[in-house]
């Protein structure tokens, strides 16, 4: 495995493992949270979070990627002085954005609650508002470190966020519920988010100071022309605005869903309280479980931006083509089995995690939703990988445009399906499938056009897809004939069955992708190459 190839694999490994751990902790955290605030409280939580996520994305999505990309460019050209200037300028901008975003959410909490026709959400909007400031500032530090290919601090800060939520948010939620009910319980949980983000920011501040010393050791090209603040702002804006707009599309879709789906279900004749619980089940347990494997997709997208940018800065076109191919194959190899496996094990997973928090009726509906929604994982993974490549290549406007089109079609399909009494909430995952499909196809076209990579249908789609389907058929047979309806199983058998299916699926899929060549052994870390060659020989 060459040093060049290691760059993407190691970066994705660090962020991917940390991301999966964070998502698993997030799933486990939601289980006691659902038990504390009840299924009605989860409806309130799921109403507040999309608005917070949208404001967070607007405030902090584009500039960190721009920092990462621009710093990688200047460090590669032996110009650390300009790299520092870029960070300092971006930090000032993010400080301002963070203050504005936090102040807006706090001061407009009453308006936001009224827009959802749910007064129980006002305290929650106020409780989570300060975290917008913390995350904005922290994202500047993350961009600074990622631009130097140092992904470890970002990974650790993500772990601090999640672990802090468990040990702070849950006690606050319990105190709020015991004192004043659902509104204070959910607000307590979200205030725990704010405190966890503050702790992660302190950690990133310490890591930045350490890393800044290392940047001082990079030799400075004496011929490099210092960038003015005006030049830096202009370049940051050119890079960051399209990325921010593109990154806002999916949170915007969630924000629109939070305003759209519940009223549409009520139009279909579903009572208001039932509509809130159904939406909470979809945007809570279903989306939470889907977000576990998509952590790797986020890691790939994050790592590909500075990686592709550095290759282009060197003029190394073969490196860009190679890393593009590895990124797309990794996206497919990860996405296909996660989609198939989670779709097949949707009902067991939901019964294992949320049986004590939701009625069987809502759990069964959530399982049907997860079976469909899980198929978006492979599409989302490919969209993230292609977006990272295009952003690194300076074509950040392309994924923005394709996602705008995809979300527009999602909204139209939501409006068409959700208000039909015979479909209602089941239309939402189908709309998401359409959204990511519409975004993925043109992204792939432009990736090939911009990088020179020749897309291989066999390597990227057919081989990993066939391996995932074969793995899925075995997992389906094991569960169907060995365990049956999860509603009739106790906790021990549920855990045993899921672990057995996952273990068999992982081993079988790993063997198949290596044996068929869907994954090349030389692209794996050197420490495992000998073991793998012995395994597939």
151 in the same domain as 297: yes
Identify the pLDDT of residue 7. 47
Distance, C-alpha 367 to centroid of its chain: 21
Selection from 46, 15, 102, 65 nearest residue 393 by Cα: 65
421 in the same domain as 336: yes
Residue keyed to tokens 């290691």: 6
* Residue 202 included in any domain: yes
- Report CA-CA distances (Å) from 183 to 39, 105, 170, 206, 281: 13, 17, 14, 36, 18
204 in the same domain as 131: yes
446 in the same domain as 510: no
Identify the pLDDT of residue 529. 57
Selection from 376, 336, 322, 375 nearest residue 462 by Cα: 336
d(CA 449, CA 455): 10
247 in the same domain as 166: yes
* Residue 198 included in any domain: yes
Identify the pLDDT of residue 318. 87
517 in the same domain as 377: no
* Residue 167 included in any domain: yes
Tell me the three state secondary structure of residue 99: helix
**Final residue of a structural domain among 429, 455, 481:** 455
Q: What is the DSSP string of 454-512?
A: ---HIIIIIHHHHHHHHHHHHHHHHHHHHT--GGGS-HHHHHHHHHHHHHHHHHHHHHH
Residue 273, Cβ density class (10 Å: 0-12 exposed, 13-18 middle, ≥19 buried): exposed
Selection from 225, 248, 226, 244 nearest residue 236 by Cα: 244
Instruction: Classify each residue of 10-35 as buried b or exposed e, where b means 16 or more C-beta atoms within 10 Å of its C-beta.
Output: ebbbbbbebbbbbbebbbebbbbbbb
450 in the same domain as 473: no
503 in the same domain as 440: no
* Residue 460 included in any domain: no
Q: What is the DSSP string of 30-65?
A: HHHHHHHHHHHHHHHHHHHHHHHHHHHHHHHSHHHH
- Report CA-CA distances (Å) from 117 to 35, 114, 276, 410: 24, 5, 11, 23
pLDDT along the chain (537 residues), means of 10: 45 57 70 82 81 74 77 80 86 87 90 83 90 89 80 82 83 88 88 90 88 74 82 82 69 75 85 83 82 69 70 82 86 92 94 83 91 92 87 83 88 88 89 91 93 90 94 95 88 91 94 84 58 58
* Residue 40 included in any domain: yes
480 in the same domain as 438: no
Q: Are 512 and 472 in contact (CB under 8 A)?
A: no
Selection from 87, 62, 392, 316 nearest residue 215 by Cα: 87
Selection from 244, 406, 285, 214 nearest residue 31 by Cα: 285
Cβ neighbours, 10 Å, residue 527: 8
Q: Are 185 and 177 in contact (CB under 8 A)?
A: yes
* Residue 53 included in any domain: yes
**Final residue of a structural domain among 425, 455, 485:** 455
pTM of the model: 0.71
- Report CA-CA distances (Å) from 268 to 118, 274, 364, 368, 428: 19, 12, 20, 19, 14
437 in the same domain as 474: no
* Residue 450 included in any domain: yes
399 in the same domain as 319: yes
Boundaries of domain holding 533: 469-537
Domain count, the chain: 2
Q: Are 382 and 328 in contact (CB under 8 A)?
A: yes
Distance, C-alpha 132 to centroid of its chain: 17
Tell me the three state secondary structure of residue 513: helix
402 in the same domain as 271: yes
d(CA 440, CA 403): 9
Identify the pLDDT of residue 1. 42
Structure tokens at 460: 């990227």
**Final residue of a structural domain among 398, 422, 455:** 455
* Residue 462 included in any domain: no
Structure tokens at 490: 């106790």
Would you tell me the crossing angle of helices 3-60 and 346-354 to the nearest 10 degrees?
A: 60
Identify the pLDDT of residue 2. 44
Residue ranges in 181-228 assigned as alpha helix (H): 182-215
Structure tokens at 382: 């490919």
- Report CA-CA distances (Å) from 176 to 222, 253, 327: 60, 30, 45
């Amino acid at each position: 495995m060459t040093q060049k190839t290691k760059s993407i694999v190691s970066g994705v490994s660090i962020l991917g493992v940390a991301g999966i751990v964070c998502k698993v902790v997030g799933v486990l955290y939601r289980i006691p949270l659902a038990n504390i605030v009840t299924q009605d409280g989860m409806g309130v939580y799921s109403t507040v979070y999309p608005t917070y996520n949208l404001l967070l994305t607007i405030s902090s999505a584009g500039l960190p990627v721009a920092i990462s990309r621009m710093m990688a460019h200047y460090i590669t050209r032996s110009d650390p002085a300009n790299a520092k200037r870029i960070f300092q300028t971006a930090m000032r901008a993010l400080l301002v954005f963070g203050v504005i975003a936090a102040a807006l959410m706090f001061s407009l909490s009453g308006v936001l609650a009224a827009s959802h026709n749910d007064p129980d959400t006002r305290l929650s909007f106020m409780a989570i508002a300060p975290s917008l400031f913390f995350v904005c500032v922290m994202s500047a530090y993350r961009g600074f470190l990622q631009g130097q290919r140092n992904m470890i601090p970002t990974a650790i800060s993500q772990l601090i966020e999640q672990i802090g939520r468990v040990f702070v948010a849950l006690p606050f939620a319990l105190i709020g519920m015991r004192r004043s009910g659902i509104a204070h319980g959910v607000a307590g949980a979200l205030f725990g988010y704010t405190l966890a983000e503050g702790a992660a920011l302190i950690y990133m501040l310490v890591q930045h100071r350490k890393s800044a010393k290392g940047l001082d050791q990079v030799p400075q090209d004496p011929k490099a022309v210092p960038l003015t603040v005006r030049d830096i702002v202009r370049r940051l804006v050119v890079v960051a605005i399209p990325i921010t707009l593109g990154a806002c599309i999916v949170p915007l879709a969630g924000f629109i869903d939070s305003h759209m789906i519940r009223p549409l279900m009520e139009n279909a004749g579903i009572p208001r309280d039932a509509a809130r619980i159904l939406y909470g089940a979809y945007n809570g347990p279903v989306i939470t479980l889907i977000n576990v494997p998509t952590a790797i997709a986020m890691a790939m997208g994050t790592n590909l931006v500075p990686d592709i940018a550095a290759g282009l800065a060197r003029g190394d076109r073969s490196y860009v083509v190679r890393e593009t191919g590895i990124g797309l194959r990794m996206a497919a190899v990860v996405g296909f089995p996660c989609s198939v496996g989670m779709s097949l094990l949707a009902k067991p997973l939901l019964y294992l995690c949320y049986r004590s928090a939701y009625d069987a009726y809502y759990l069964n509906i959530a399982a049907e939703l997860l079976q469909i929604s899980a198929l978006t994982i492979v599409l989302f993974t490919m969209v993230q990988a292609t977006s990272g490549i295009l952003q690194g290549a300076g074509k950040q406007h392309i994924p923005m445009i394709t996602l705008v089109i995809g979300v527009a079609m999602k909204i139209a399909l939501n409006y068409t399906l959700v208000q039909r009494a015979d479909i209602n909430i089941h239309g939402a995952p189908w709309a998401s499938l359409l959204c990511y499909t519409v975004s993925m196809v043109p992204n792939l076209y432009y990736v090939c056009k911009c990088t020179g990579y020749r897309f291989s249908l066999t390597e990227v789609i057919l081989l990993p897809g066939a391996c995932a389907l074969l793995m899925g058929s075995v997992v389906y047979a094991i569960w169907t004939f060995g365990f049956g309806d999860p509603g009739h199983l106790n906790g021990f058998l549920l855990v045993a069955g899921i672990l057995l299916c996952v273990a068999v699926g992982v081993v079988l899929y790993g063997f198949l992708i290596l044996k068929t060549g869907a994954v090349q052994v030389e692209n794996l870390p050197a420490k495992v190459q000998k073991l793998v060659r012995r395994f597939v020989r």
